[in-house]
Structures are given as structure tokens and as C-alpha cells.
A and B are shown apart, each in its own frame.
Chain A
């Protein structure tokens, strides 16, 4: 879906304002030069290119932007920010959009979010992450039980897969309290943690 953004849809100026306020970026200075898109290593899997996302934000096209696959596939590499002639922190805008989408429960690419939580769950439980824990949780969540099995023999032989969770004296409990407070606060604020 790389054709132009459909302008006949609903426009939501409050959306534009919220993105600007939360990202701290002045999105209106974008003049669609396309530099961000030219350097984006994830563009080939995007439904809307990053410059189109920026245009969508300017125009207040909330649904198109927050439902896009692109905001989930962004690698956070910051190439776009570095090359924007108007010094817009484009990667920061992408991240803000991802946060806004998640908080509203819009998750267009669930497997990416499942991977994040598989990682974060090992951190919440052990205070540090370890490879096997993340992989197992991800396989369970995504039901993709063959994920990367082709890599296992090599990685195992080289002792490169962390099997044992790390043990920290006090850190594990302290970290799980951070996660608990985070989730409680999200609930209080009525957003998805």
C-alpha cells in the first residue's frame, strides 16, 4: 500500500498536537523531502513509508498512522533523525506513535510485541535477561515453536546460549517491584501497560 494517503478520511487535529507534545518534535516543519525514507533500513517491510507517516501525523490521520505496520517494524536505528534536514527526531516520533498505539490497545504486528514482553518477563522475574528464557517465552506466546531451532546447535556448541538465569543479591525483587509499580500506574491512568 504505497500509494498516497487517503485525505478523504477523518482528520483529527488533537492527534497531531498530542504527537508533538509527547515527542517534543515540531512535526509541521517536515517538508516531505523523503530523506528519512531513503535511508530507512526497514522501509521494505513498511506499509506506509516513514515520510508518509510524518505526513499522516501533520494531517491528523490518526487511524491510518496508529494502525500502520510500520510503527511496529521500525528498528529504532535513528538514521532518519540523523538525515532529516529539519532536525526532526523522526525516530522519536515513530517511538511516540508506537507508545500511543499500544496504550490504546492497537497492536498491528502482535508478534513483535510478544517478543518484547517475552524479553521483559525474564527481566521482571530475574532482574536480568537470558537468552533461553526469552526464546521459550516467545515460542509459547507466538506458538512459533520452531523459531531459530536451526541456530541452536551452533550456539549451544559454543556455549553462547545463556541457560541459567542470572542470580542477583537484591536486584531481582527490586526489578519486579519496578514492573509492578509500572503496571499499577498504567491501570490508574487507564492505559495498556
Chain B
């Protein structure tokens, strides 16, 4: 089945690995992602921080393209893009606001837009957890993981409509279906410090540091994320966060799609695991050891 797809700018840069693994996993699930033509940046936080009609105009151009392509639904991997696209569509329900946005566009936007949702929810709509489990070829047994959603996936609640906004469970359910052990992670929807890593590093370092601290204390093998910015703050900036806390961390931070890909036994090079700053090798070794143990036990059983 085909799905209209909005990759978002970071897909070609800082979150190449998210993009690769999203494509690989969706392909394995026969979900064919088709980029909407000529898409543009949603404006991210800076656009709405400056002006909401500017932000909405940048989003509306994409929504309009999807509408004219007669897309039934638009999927995007990035929670920040998702939030902007959804906010724009919601605000444009108001005629006065729509008018302000249309003033900025070449042509007035389509009257209605297709609904937009995350790749994660898109997968869950097509596959319930049993169906997902049926696709697993190499269970993630032996891995202890923390699901971290960040702030944008589930908030503002009435716009994002993503489960309990303070305690979503979808990622845990998906990864449990793949055989992983999911820890209870109370900071799962706390903010990582967002895009302040550049202008105000301490803010991001301290917020990300809290999340890394908790994960370290819980002894997880990895933090699992669904947001390019969270991933960058926790992985690329892990050393900055550690320095601010005068400690060291060594916690791999993987996209949920990379773990689904491992469970589906997709080729590792399609999952972009080599792009992680904190290496996932320890986790991969653990998976192999676990499997060897499992084989030994079954072989032992047969003797």
C-alpha cells in the first residue's frame, strides 16, 4: 500500500539513520512511502517562534501538495514536523487565520487537507501488536530498553492525539512485541532541551543530562527515540551533557525503527547503525550472545 510521505529536512542530514531505517522497516512491512513532490521545510520551532502565520504558510504549502496529490493520509517520521503540520491544519480551520496564511501563499491552499500522522502511529494502524510480533525474525530478547518520546510526540494533547500525553505506551508495546524488555521510564515525555543546544547549551545539557542519568541508573542497553532532535541531543551531545554533570555516559540512543529493523532481521547497513555517535556494538553483541545461548539451550534440550 502507498503512503504519502513527508521526510523532513533532517532526513537528509543529521537523521539519515532514522530515514534509512524508516524506509527499510516500512518496505519490509509493505508500506510504500512516496515523498510528496517538491516538499519544503515546515519551519520547525524558529518559524512558529517568530510568527504562526509564517509557520502555517510553510506547512500549508506541503499540506496543499498532499491534498492535490489526493493523499488519504500523510506520514512523517519527525515529531516536530508532525506538530507543525497538524497545528497549521488545525489553526487554518479558522477562516480569519486561513485568510492570513493564504495572503502569504502563491495560491490559496486547498480547503481540506489529508490527516497527518507519525510513521509510528501509521505502522500501528496497519499492524496490531500481534501482527507486528508475527513479523519478528530475530527477537530482541535480552535487551533492556528505555522508550523516550520527548515532548512533541504527545503534546499539545488535543492536537497530537497520541495516547496518554504523560504516559504513552506505543513504543513500549511495539518493542515488547519484538521481544525486548522495556523499563518503566518516568522521564519518557520530559523535554530534552530541544533546539537550544546551539544558542543556550547549558539548558540542553542539563535537560538531556537528567534523561541520560536516569537511563544510566536503570542500567538500560539503549534509549529508544522517535525524534531527530532528541536523538541528536542525547547521542551527539551526550558528552556535553556528561561534562555538565561531571560524569561520563555510554548509552547508545537508537531510533525505534532501527530496533524494529534488527528484530525483522533487516541488513544492518540499511539501518544506519554505523551512524550513531555512541556505538551500538555492545547491544548488538548482547543480541548475538543471547541467541547463541538460546541455540545452545535448545540443542542441549535435544540431546
Contact call A182/B54, Cβ cutoff below 8 A: yes
User: Please, how many angstroms separate the alpha-carbon atoms of A106 and B277 in the complex?
Assistant: 39
Q: A79, A120, A134: which contacts B50 (Cβ < 8 A)?
A: A120
Q: B14, B58, B104, B236: which contacts A123 (Cβ < 8 A)?
A: B58
Asked if A9 is at the interface (CB within 8 A of a chain B CB), the reply is no
List A contacts of B52 (CB < 8 A).
95, 99
User: Please, how many angstroms separate the alpha-carbon atoms of A115 and B46 in the complex?
Assistant: 8
List A contacts of B194 (CB < 8 A).
75-77
Give the interface size bracket for B toward A. 35 or more
Contact call A79/B151, Cβ cutoff below 8 A: yes
Q: A44, A174, A177, A178: which contacts B206 (Cβ < 8 A)?
A: A44
Q: A111, A131, A168: which contacts B40 (Cβ < 8 A)?
A: A168
Contact call B151/A178, Cβ cutoff below 8 A: no
Q: Chain B CB within 10 Å — which of A95, A115, A155 has the most?
A: A115
List B contacts of A95 (CB < 8 A).
48-49, 52
Given A131-B13, A131-B14, A150-B240; A120-B47 close (CB under 8 Å) = yes
Contact call A42/B203, Cβ cutoff below 8 A: yes
Contact call A174/B191, Cβ cutoff below 8 A: no
Contact call B166/A175, Cβ cutoff below 8 A: no
User: Please, how many angstroms separate the alpha-carbon atoms of A171 and B165 in the complex?
Assistant: 35
Asked if A15 is at the interface (CB within 8 A of a chain B CB), the reply is no
Contact call A182/B104, Cβ cutoff below 8 A: yes
Given A178-B57, A182-B57; A160-B155 close (CB under 8 Å) = no
Contact call A154/B236, Cβ cutoff below 8 A: yes
Contact call A77/B191, Cβ cutoff below 8 A: yes
Asked if B118 is at the interface (CB within 8 A of a chain A CB), the reply is no
List A contacts of B105 (CB < 8 A).
178
Q: Which residue of A lies closest to B195 (CB)?
A: A115
Asked if A55 is at the interface (CB within 8 A of a chain B CB), the reply is no
Q: Which residue of B lies closest to A127 (CB)?
A: B40
Contact call B40/A45, Cβ cutoff below 8 A: no
List A contacts of B141 (CB < 8 A).
none
Q: B13, B38, B103: which contacts A162 (Cβ < 8 A)?
A: B13
Contact with B along A42-76 (1 / 0, CB 8 A): 10110000000000000000000000000001011
Q: B37, B196, B198: which contacts A138 (Cβ < 8 A)?
A: B198
User: Please, how many angstroms separate the alpha-carbon atoms of A79 and B155 in the complex?
Assistant: 8
Given A73-B203, A79-B155; A151-B237 close (CB under 8 Å) = yes
Q: Which residue of B lies closest to A41 (CB)?
A: B191
User: Please, how many angstroms separate the alpha-carbon atoms of A112 and B14 in the complex?
Assistant: 21
List B contacts of A161 (CB < 8 A).
13-14
Asked if B200 is at the interface (CB within 8 A of a chain A CB), the reply is yes
Contact call A160/B206, Cβ cutoff below 8 A: no
User: Please, how many angstroms separate the alpha-carbon atoms of A129 and B13 in the complex?
Assistant: 10
Contact call A151/B57, Cβ cutoff below 8 A: no
Contact call A77/B40, Cβ cutoff below 8 A: no
Given A174-B106, A185-B104; A158-B277 close (CB under 8 Å) = yes
Contact call B200/A111, Cβ cutoff below 8 A: yes
List B contacts of A170 (CB < 8 A).
38
User: Please, how many angstroms separate the alpha-carbon atoms of A115 and B197 in the complex?
Assistant: 10
Q: Which of B99-121 contact A (CB under 8 A)?
A: 103-106
Contact call B199/A75, Cβ cutoff below 8 A: no
Contact with B along A97-129 (1 / 0, CB 8 A): 011001000000001101111011001000111
Q: How far is the CB of B84 from chain A (nearest CB, A)?
A: 11
Q: How far is the CB of B292 from chain A (nearest CB, A)?
A: 29
Q: Which of B257-301 contact A (CB under 8 A)?
A: 274-277
A-B contact pairs, 14 of them (CB 8 A): A42-B203, A45-B203, A75-B193, A76-B49, A89-B156, A120-B46, A148-B197, A151-B237, A155-B14, A158-B276, A171-B40, A177-B106, A178-B57, A182-B54
Closest CB pairs A-B (n = 10): A162-B13, A116-B46, A77-B191, A77-B151, A78-B155, A115-B199, A119-B46, A41-B191, A171-B40, A127-B40
Residues of A within 8 A of B (CB): 41-42, 44-45, 73, 75-79, 81-82, 89, 91, 95, 98-99, 102, 111-112, 114-117, 119-120, 123, 127-131, 134-135, 138, 142, 147-148, 150-151, 154-155, 158-162, 166, 168-171, 174-175, 177-179, 181-182, 185, 193
Extra contacts besides A120-B50, A148-B198 (4): CB < 8 Å: A77-B155, A98-B49, A117-B50, A158-B274
